[in-house]
Structure 1
Amino acid sequence: MQKLSPEEIQQVTQKSDVRAGLTLASDWLLIAGAFMLAARFPSVWSILVAAFIIGARQLALGIIVHEAGHQSFFQHKSTNNFVASWLSGYWIFSSKNNYMKGHIKHHQLAGTADDPDLKNYHSYPVTRESFRRKIVRDLTGQTGWRRLKSIGRSIRNYCRLDHDSQSAVRGGLIVNLGLLGLFVSLNVTWLILIWIGAFATTHMLCTRLRQVAEHAAVPDLYSKDARLNTRTLKTHWWERLLITPHQISFHMEHHLMPSVPLYRLPLLHRLLAAKGYYENISFTQGYIPLYKQVTQ
């Protein structure tokens, strides 16, 4: 990027095993903590809190698949591939290779009518009633039920799947049945319902809100300039806990330099801001102002 010096480019693209490891560990610690909360103090409220935390962390696992797919998380490709499978992707029945096939096209075609992700946000802004209906579908499991049925079809048609899809199904069954076995051994079998329920509800909501935040109702969806077709959302700590994990909301910066690890996106943002790269560009402060932007 012409606005950055070679030294700055090296600084923002430097991968750190320590920071990547801490990012991954924080997700699993939050998941474990949410399960412990529900098991130790079982109530409607503790289960709801656990479901929201776990749903956001399931999105975080998908984000790690994304980062590993760009080979921008850990330093070594083999580590990225292992983490993207056994420590993140398989838990949500996701294949890094299959995901990246579409995601690379999204990067190449963002700002055009051929963007494969366009269907997720081209209709925005929508009416407030329409947006509320989408949220209700997510939180009542209607959106998630379609995803669960898709996973079920993949299991039934396992022999007809490609190699990457077979790996995701096989790995997904191994880790999720392993989780069930752990809960059975601890006499808290019912906790698996929180994992599945969060996947089908709060995880779907977080995924939708992430997509909306990144590209919905932007200044010019069909511009090739990432400053116009993509949004960086400034989030609060509780939004990063319950909606958009880590620093993935710096999406404009990700489109500008996909090789930058997510833990260095805020640094890239600060460097570009100091150089005047965002002149006349405004940044939304949180999801409540975003709601006002994407609805009418």
Structure 2
Amino acid sequence: MVDLRKELGHIRRPIDGRIFALKLAVLCSLISVGVALVLSGSVWRMAVGIILCGLMYAHAIELQHEALHGTGLRSRRGNALVGVLLGIPMLISFAAYRAAHMRHHRRLGTPENREFFDYGDQYGFGSGSKVHDVLLWIYRFSMIGHYVNFLVVCVKLAAGRPLPDEKPAAMRAIRRDHALMSAILIVTVVTSVVTHSLLAVWLWLVPLAIANPVHALIELPEHYRCQTDTTDVFRNTRSIRSTWLMTWFTNGNNFHVEHHFMPSLPIAQLGELHLALAGRHHYYHRTYRGFFRSLFGPDPSVPYSERVLLSSQPR
């Protein structure tokens, strides 16, 4: 694996902050369009605006993921500042996400591995009970666990209690993020009550009903039903070729094998690495539609690779 990384080292190029800046500009522009539609007064335009805002809040977390790896902008402080702001709509602490995500990269394939977003049956092993599995899907798509954890962390920080696994520097940054998000929440609620305005509901709360399941769906293919008891990234992670639109929307998250193979590689270069690693993937789909169709296929215990070969053939 080390030799292969050295062999493909030529793919790595310096971080081009202009690409990330363009992504941020597109994000802000689309959110602005969504806000304008919500404020238009038309029920149909308002619905479209809510959906657009929700989609962009989920997209923002994919950009936050790039920032926490330090590959968005050349400046560490710039990545941190942008990362903190990107996480506010979905109440995702940049510092907490970064600390947990880096541990995930180091520990994937080991019993110590934990995800920042814990959906219960994280990797699709199933419980054997259909009712329990349905409840887990609801739990996943609503992201209730994330928001409960946000409140729990806020309480712990307010009480001066430490967070497991977190070093002092990370604790300070996590406290900063939660203080900022809590302040924004309080100001928003108080302002809404005093002014008798439902603006925050239509621009923030309701769009989360779109953002939460969309974010869960973006993350689902990463390691779902892969061989998560091995440290081999070609077996514990999945990649999806997909279209340019989905590659943009997921911010390269579809090239997840490549991301785990070279975590510090700028997102814009993952497509090139994907081509260089062709044929090595054990879990691979040509489209997101192919992946989601495979969830309702034969016995889920059968390795995906056996079904991918069939489902990925041109029709």
Query: What amino acid is the match of 1:75?
Result: R
Q: How does 1:159-170 map to 2 (within 5 A)?
A: 159-161=158-160, 162-170=171-179
SS in 2 for 1:115: coil
- Residues 27 and 180 of structure 1: CA distance in aligned 2, closer, same or farther (over 3 Å): farther
- Residues 27 and 255 of structure 1: CA distance in aligned 2, closer, same or farther (over 3 Å): same
SS in 2 for 1:54: helix
Q: Take 1:52 and 1:19, find their aligned partners in 2: how far apart are those partners?
A: 25
Residue 89 of structure 1, CA deviation: 2.6
What is aligned with 2:165?
none
Q: Take 2:222 and 2:10, find their aligned partners in 1: how far apart are those partners?
A: 26
Residue 129 of structure 1, CA deviation: 7.8
What is aligned with 1:221?
228
Structure 2 unmatched runs, 5+: 161-170, 301-315
Q: Is the 8 A contact 2:126 2:133 kept in 1?
A: no
User: Percent identity of the aligned residues?
Assistant: 18
Q: 2:241 aligns with which of 225, 234, 240?
A: 234
Q: Take 1:90 and 1:66, find their aligned partners in 2: how far apart are those partners?
A: 13
Q: Take 2:186 and 2:36, find their aligned partners in 1: how far apart are those partners?
A: 19
Query: What amino acid is the match of 1:32?
Result: S
Q: Is the 8 A contact 2:104 2:113 kept in 1?
A: yes
Q: Structure 1 residue 264 and structure 2 residue 272: aligned?
A: no
Q: Structure 1 residue 294 and structure 2 residue 295: aligned?
A: yes
Q: Structure 1 residue 112 and structure 2 residue 110: aligned?
A: yes
Q: Take 1:67 and 1:269, find their aligned partners in 2: how far apart are those partners?
A: 17
- Residues 16 and 175 of structure 1: CA distance in aligned 2, closer, same or farther (over 3 Å): farther
- Residues 156 and 230 of structure 1: CA distance in aligned 2, closer, same or farther (over 3 Å): closer
Deviation string 1:195-218 (CA, Å, 9 cap, x unpaired) is: 12222x222212321232101122
Relative contact order (alpha carbons < 8 A, sep ≥ 6): 1 or 2 greater?
1
Q: Structure 1 residue 33 and structure 2 residue 42: aligned?
A: no
Deviation string 1:7-53 (CA, Å, 9 cap, x unpaired) is: x635434211110101122222222211212222532x544433433
How high is the TM-score relative to the length of structure 2?
A: 0.73
SS in 2 for 1:232: strand
- RMSD over aligned CA atoms reads 3.6
Q: How does 1:193-204 map to 2 (within 5 A)?
A: 193-194=201-202, 195-199=204-208, 201-204=209-212
Q: Is the 8 A contact 1:214 1:251 kept in 2?
A: yes
SS in 1 for 2:23: helix
Structure 1 unmatched runs, 5+: none
Q: How many residues align?
A: 280
State which structure, 1 or 2, has the greater radius of gyration over its C-alpha atoms. 2
Q: How does 1:132-281 map to 2 (within 5 A)?
A: 136=138, 141=142, 143-144=143-144, 146-155=145-154, 159-161=158-160, 162-173=171-182, 189-194=197-202, 195-199=204-208, 201-218=209-226, 220-236=227-243, 239=246, 244-273=249-278, 278-279=279-280, 281=282
